[in-house]
Amino acid sequence: MPNADLARRVLDQITDEDAAYDQEHWMQGVTVLEPHRAPASCGTTLCAAGWAVHLSGYTIKKEPGVCTIEYTADGPRDFVAHVAALELGLNEEDAEWLFAEGDDPYEVEAAVGQLAEGADRIIWKDGCRSRRADLNGLPDALTVAF
Protein backbone atom coordinates (compact mmCIF):
# COMPACT_ATOMS: atom_id res chain seq x y z
CA MET A 1 0.00 0.00 0.00
CA PRO A 2 1.44 3.40 -0.94
CA ASN A 3 2.65 5.72 1.81
CA ALA A 4 0.10 8.55 1.57
CA ASP A 5 1.80 10.66 4.25
CA LEU A 6 5.13 10.65 2.42
CA ALA A 7 3.35 11.29 -0.89
CA ARG A 8 1.65 14.35 0.67
CA ARG A 9 5.01 15.70 1.82
CA VAL A 10 6.55 15.11 -1.62
CA LEU A 11 3.54 16.79 -3.24
CA ASP A 12 4.01 19.82 -0.97
CA GLN A 13 7.59 20.14 -2.23
CA ILE A 14 6.97 19.62 -5.94
CA THR A 15 4.04 22.06 -6.02
CA ASP A 16 5.73 24.82 -4.01
CA GLU A 17 6.95 27.37 -6.55
CA ASP A 18 9.87 28.23 -4.27
CA ALA A 19 10.87 24.59 -3.82
CA ALA A 20 13.92 23.05 -5.38
CA TYR A 21 12.09 20.68 -7.77
CA ASP A 22 13.14 19.63 -11.25
CA GLN A 23 12.25 16.24 -12.71
CA GLU A 24 15.08 16.32 -15.24
CA HIS A 25 18.01 18.32 -13.80
CA TRP A 26 18.75 17.37 -10.20
CA MET A 27 21.68 17.37 -7.80
CA GLN A 28 23.47 20.05 -9.81
CA GLY A 29 26.48 21.62 -8.14
CA VAL A 30 26.47 19.30 -5.15
CA THR A 31 27.72 15.75 -4.69
CA VAL A 32 26.23 14.95 -1.27
CA LEU A 33 22.94 16.09 0.27
CA GLU A 34 22.40 15.19 3.90
CA PRO A 35 18.86 14.91 5.26
CA HIS A 36 19.22 18.04 7.43
CA ARG A 37 20.22 20.27 4.47
CA ALA A 38 17.54 21.98 2.41
CA PRO A 39 18.28 21.49 -1.31
CA ALA A 40 17.69 25.17 -2.04
CA SER A 41 20.27 26.14 0.61
CA CYS A 42 23.00 24.58 -1.51
CA GLY A 43 21.58 25.67 -4.85
CA THR A 44 20.38 22.29 -6.09
CA THR A 45 17.11 20.64 -7.05
CA LEU A 46 15.59 17.20 -6.55
CA CYS A 47 13.24 15.11 -8.67
CA ALA A 48 10.18 13.41 -7.14
CA ALA A 49 12.25 10.34 -6.21
CA GLY A 50 14.91 12.57 -4.68
CA TRP A 51 12.33 14.36 -2.57
CA ALA A 52 10.90 11.04 -1.36
CA VAL A 53 14.27 9.78 -0.12
CA HIS A 54 15.36 13.18 1.22
CA LEU A 55 12.16 13.51 3.25
CA SER A 56 12.62 9.92 4.48
CA GLY A 57 15.95 10.90 6.04
CA TYR A 58 18.51 9.45 3.62
CA THR A 59 21.77 11.01 2.47
CA ILE A 60 21.82 11.37 -1.32
CA LYS A 61 25.14 11.00 -3.08
CA LYS A 62 25.69 11.91 -6.72
CA GLU A 63 28.01 9.62 -8.60
CA PRO A 64 28.83 9.75 -12.32
CA GLY A 65 25.52 9.41 -14.16
CA VAL A 66 23.43 8.28 -11.20
CA CYS A 67 22.33 9.25 -7.70
CA THR A 68 22.50 6.79 -4.86
CA ILE A 69 21.67 6.83 -1.18
CA GLU A 70 23.83 5.60 1.62
CA TYR A 71 22.21 3.82 4.54
CA THR A 72 25.22 4.68 6.71
CA ALA A 73 28.43 6.57 6.03
CA ASP A 74 30.28 3.44 4.98
CA GLY A 75 27.34 1.06 4.59
CA PRO A 76 25.46 -0.33 1.59
CA ARG A 77 24.21 1.88 -1.22
CA ASP A 78 21.13 1.73 -3.41
CA PHE A 79 19.64 3.75 -6.26
CA VAL A 80 17.52 6.75 -5.25
CA ALA A 81 14.64 5.61 -7.49
CA HIS A 82 14.58 2.15 -5.92
CA VAL A 83 14.59 3.44 -2.34
CA ALA A 84 11.96 6.07 -3.23
CA ALA A 85 9.73 3.34 -4.69
CA LEU A 86 10.10 1.29 -1.51
CA GLU A 87 9.47 4.28 0.78
CA LEU A 88 6.41 5.35 -1.24
CA GLY A 89 5.14 1.77 -1.49
CA LEU A 90 5.01 1.78 -5.29
CA ASN A 91 4.83 -1.20 -7.60
CA GLU A 92 7.52 -1.53 -10.25
CA GLU A 93 5.41 -0.18 -13.12
CA ASP A 94 4.28 2.94 -11.26
CA ALA A 95 7.82 3.62 -10.04
CA GLU A 96 9.23 3.28 -13.55
CA TRP A 97 6.73 5.76 -14.99
CA LEU A 98 6.74 8.20 -12.08
CA PHE A 99 10.51 8.47 -11.84
CA ALA A 100 11.31 8.63 -15.58
CA GLU A 101 13.64 11.49 -16.38
CA GLY A 102 11.93 14.27 -18.30
CA ASP A 103 8.40 13.50 -17.11
CA ASP A 104 5.92 16.32 -17.47
CA PRO A 105 5.83 18.04 -14.04
CA TYR A 106 2.02 18.23 -14.16
CA GLU A 107 1.77 14.47 -14.74
CA VAL A 108 4.13 13.86 -11.83
CA GLU A 109 2.08 16.22 -9.63
CA ALA A 110 -1.16 14.46 -10.59
CA ALA A 111 0.31 11.01 -9.95
CA VAL A 112 1.79 11.96 -6.57
CA GLY A 113 -1.51 13.67 -5.74
CA GLN A 114 -3.36 10.39 -6.28
CA LEU A 115 -0.99 8.65 -3.86
CA ALA A 116 -1.37 11.48 -1.33
CA GLU A 117 -5.15 10.99 -1.45
CA GLY A 118 -4.73 7.31 -0.57
CA ALA A 119 -4.92 5.61 -3.99
CA ASP A 120 -3.54 2.08 -3.96
CA ARG A 121 -1.89 2.66 -7.35
CA ILE A 122 -1.54 5.42 -9.92
CA ILE A 123 -4.18 5.73 -12.64
CA TRP A 124 -2.28 7.19 -15.59
CA LYS A 125 -3.98 9.58 -18.02
CA ASP A 126 -4.65 8.39 -21.56
CA GLY A 127 -1.72 9.32 -23.74
CA CYS A 128 0.75 9.64 -20.87
CA ARG A 129 2.18 6.21 -21.54
CA SER A 130 1.70 6.15 -25.29
CA ARG A 131 3.69 9.38 -25.60
CA ARG A 132 6.64 7.55 -24.07
CA ALA A 133 5.99 4.10 -25.51
CA ASP A 134 9.63 3.76 -26.51
CA LEU A 135 10.87 4.59 -23.01
CA ASN A 136 13.15 1.86 -21.78
CA GLY A 137 12.55 2.81 -18.14
CA LEU A 138 14.96 3.39 -15.35
CA PRO A 139 18.38 1.83 -14.85
CA ASP A 140 18.35 -1.97 -14.77
CA ALA A 141 19.25 -1.86 -11.09
CA LEU A 142 15.79 -0.51 -10.29
CA THR A 143 13.85 -3.25 -12.06
CA VAL A 144 16.19 -6.02 -10.93
CA ALA A 145 15.77 -5.02 -7.30
CA PHE A 146 11.99 -5.51 -7.25
Q: Which residues have C-beta within 8 Å of that of residue 112, sequence separation ≥ 6? A: 7, 10, 11, 14, 48, 98
Distance CA(121)–CA(111), nearest Å, equals: 9
> How far is the CA of 43 from the CAs of 2, 30, 33, in angstroms?
30, 8, 11
Give the whole-angstrom CA distance, residue 12 versus residue 19.
9
9 or 138: which carries more pLDDT confidence?
A: 9
Backbone angles phi, psi at 56, to 5 degrees: -90, 0
The per-residue pLDDT for range 19-75, each reduced to its tens digit, is 788 888 888 878 888 888 888 888 888 999 999 999 999 888 887 767 776 655 555
